[in-house]
């Protein structure tokens, strides 16, 4: 996969996510969605009745739709295959 330019603010969000074991807050998702270099980054959304993967730019709308449908969203996180995990010692 070719390297892409990531802004300093977005890099900070991704680095923070690494320290939080990949979990993202609503603000983190909004920052990723607002940045052209990360808006298509795939995120995992786990909810009451299952899970799905969506682009960062779509997560907020999909979470609202899930909640309107009566389901509970547990968390949003980076995928295990996300490039940010390359070089992270486990």
Segment (H or E) for 45: strand 42-47
pLDDT value of residue 36: 92
Supply the angle between the helices 26-34 and 8-19 in degrees, to the nearest 10.
Answer: 150
pLDDT value of residue 1: 38
* Number of residues assigned to the chain: 90
**Series of mean pLDDT values for 10-residue runs along the chain (90 residues):** 61 90 94 94 94 97 93 94 77
The three-class DSSP label of residue 87 is coil
pLDDT value of residue 11: 86
pLDDT value of residue 87: 72
């Amino acid at each position: 996969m070719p390297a892409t330019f990531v802004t300093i603010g977005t890099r900070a969000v991704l680095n923070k996510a690494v320290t939080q074991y990949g979990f993202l807050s609503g603000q983190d998702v909004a920052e990723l969605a607002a940045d052209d270099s990360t808006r298509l980054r795939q995120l995992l959304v786990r909810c009451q009745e299952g899970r799905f993967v969506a682009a960062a730019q779509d997560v907020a709308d999909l979470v609202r739709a899930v909640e309107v449908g009566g389901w509970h969203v547990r968390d949003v996180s980076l995928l295990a295959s996300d490039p940010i995990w390359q070089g992270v010692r486990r």
